[in-house]
């Protein structure tokens, strides 16, 4: 008998598979299909802080970028805030697994009060996708760090449900950033968000969207940082995300220290059945490897538990490349 249960940021999950936030998680009926296929939790599509603040008529003076304003206005129209609360309620009425709401934000601003409405609508947890790309030549590291701290502190003062932070991978010191979030109240982290990938069409000489979906080559960073953060910051819950395409990837992330994983691209490609297949193959692997529960192998290969932690570091890089002609 295999026990697939796991604890993630205070949520008791029946197994480690979470459906990541995307357009796939916008409808209660489809969320039910994910639940039926075996998903342990669902992260709803993100609401943007701009949407919340425009709804309250509190933000957005005209900027120097009318195109951006047009885009935001259109987006807001199509995705009203009340619809978001309805989506939470409808999904909660339809599904019995934990439902995680998601907000894409970059300021500790008026939108934070709305987090309470999310909690009242029945969300079991809140994921903050803090999306901020620093390009200033006068970059002020402390101001950026304070922004993250302010967001997590204020949200934690506002709600009682668990709060996770979904991060991009471009911090200069990921463990330090995550430790700061933990100290300031974060219940868990999602490693990582995958940013929009710009590309250039040389025929039209225009900027175009690159591949929206991840692939296996994205997984390595996810494994590395899951392992390092899990080893260095005991007690922070980790959901690995980006590049997880099949069951072996889930096992790898759990061995590296993930309490759960989030999948998105694989669901776009294969549909909900991929969750059933992943769970079945995981059970077979656990029997083969003599594990009765997921907790028995969680973090076995994290930074603290392997003999040579440098396997995740610079010296391994030197060894690998210096041995190649």
Ligand X SMILES: Cc1cc2nc3c(=O)[nH]c(=O)nc-3n(C[C@H](O)[C@H](O)[C@H](O)COP(=O)(O)O)c2cc1C
Would you tell me which residues interact with ligand X (CB under 6 A)?
20-23, 45-46, 102, 104, 129, 166, 193-194, 212-214, 218, 241-244, 263-266
Query: Do 77 and 50 form a contact (C-beta atoms < 8 A)?
Result: no
Query: Do 257 and 239 form a contact (C-beta atoms < 8 A)?
Result: no
Of 182 and 194, which CB lies nearer to ligand X in the complex structure?
194
Q: Is the Cα torsion angle 65, 67, 70, 76 positive or negative in sign?
A: negative
Please report how many Cα atoms fall inside a 13 Å half-sphere around the Cα of residue 35, on the Cβ side: 20
How far apart are alpha carbons 281 and 287 in whole angstroms?
10
> Which residue in the block uniquely carries the two structure tokens 């219940």?
187
Q: Is the Cα torsion angle 318, 323, 324, 325 positive or negative in sign?
A: positive
Of 39 and 266, which CB lies nearer to ligand X in the complex structure?
266
Distance of CA 206 to the CA centre of its chain: 30
Alpha helix positions (H), the chain: 28-37, 49-55, 66-78, 81-94, 114-120, 141-158, 174-183, 219-232, 247-256, 265-270, 273-288, 314-322
Structure-block tokens of residue 156: 């934690």
The DSSP symbol for 172 reads S
Of 97 and 164, which CB lies nearer to ligand X in the complex structure?
164
Of 51 and 242, which CB lies nearer to ligand X in the complex structure?
242
Q: How far is the CB of 103 from ligand X (least distance, A)?
A: 9
Of 193 and 302, which CB lies nearer to ligand X in the complex structure?
193
The DSSP symbol for 202 reads T
**What contacts 22, CB < 8 A, 6 or more positions away?**
45, 264, 267, 268
Find the length of the chain: 325
- DSSP reduced 3-state for 54: helix
Q: How far is the CB of 246 from ligand X (least distance, A)?
A: 11
Of 79 and 316, which CB lies nearer to ligand X in the complex structure?
79
Of 197 and 287, which CB lies nearer to ligand X in the complex structure?
197
Q: How far is the CB of 142 from ligand X (least distance, A)?
A: 26
Q: How far is the CB of 305 from ligand X (least distance, A)?
A: 25
Of 118 and 291, which CB lies nearer to ligand X in the complex structure?
118
Structure-block tokens of residue 104: 């894409």
Q: How far is the CB of 211 from ligand X (least distance, A)?
A: 9
């Amino acid at each position: 008998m295999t026990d697939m249960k796991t604890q993630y940021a205070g949520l008791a999950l029946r197994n480690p598979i979470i459906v990541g936030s995307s357009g796939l998680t916008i409808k209660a009926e489809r969320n039910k299909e994910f639940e039926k296929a075996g998903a342990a939790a669902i992260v709803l599509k993100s609401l943007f802080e701009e949407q919340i603040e425009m709804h309250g008529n509190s933000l957005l003076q005209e900027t120097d970028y009318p195109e951006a304003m047009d885009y935001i206005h259109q987006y807001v129209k199509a995705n009203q805030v009340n619809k978001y609360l309805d989506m939470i309620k409808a999904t909660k009425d339809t599904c019995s697994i934990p439902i995680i709401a998601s907000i894409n934000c970059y300021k500790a601003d008026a939108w934070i009060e709305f987090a309470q409405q999310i909690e009242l609508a029945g969300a079991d947890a809140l994921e903050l996708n803090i999306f901020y790309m620093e390009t200033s030549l006068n970059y002020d590291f402390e101001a950026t760090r304070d922004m993250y701290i302010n967001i997590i502190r204020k949200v934690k003062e506002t709600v009682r449900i668990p709060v996770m932070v979904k991060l991009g991978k471009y911090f200069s010191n990921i463990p330090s950033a995550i430790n700061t979030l933990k100290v300031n109240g974060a219940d868990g982290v999602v490693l990582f968000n995958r940013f929009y990938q710009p590309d250039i069409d040389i025929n039209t000489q225009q900027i175009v969207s690159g591949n929206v979906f991840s692939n296996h080559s994205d997984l390595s960073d996810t494994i590395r940082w899951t392992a390092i953060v899990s080893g260095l910051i005991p007690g922070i819950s980790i959901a690995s995300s980006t590049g997880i395409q099949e069951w072996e990837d889930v096992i790898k992330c759990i061995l590296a220290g993930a309490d759960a994983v989030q999948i998105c691209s694989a669901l776009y490609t294969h549909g909900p059945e991929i969750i059933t297949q992943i769970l079945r193959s995981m059970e077979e692997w656990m029997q083969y490897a003599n594990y009765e529960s997921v907790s028995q192998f969680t973090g076995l290969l994290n930074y603290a538990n392997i003999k040579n932690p440098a396997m995740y570091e610079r010296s391994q890089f030197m060894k690998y490349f210096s041995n190649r002609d």
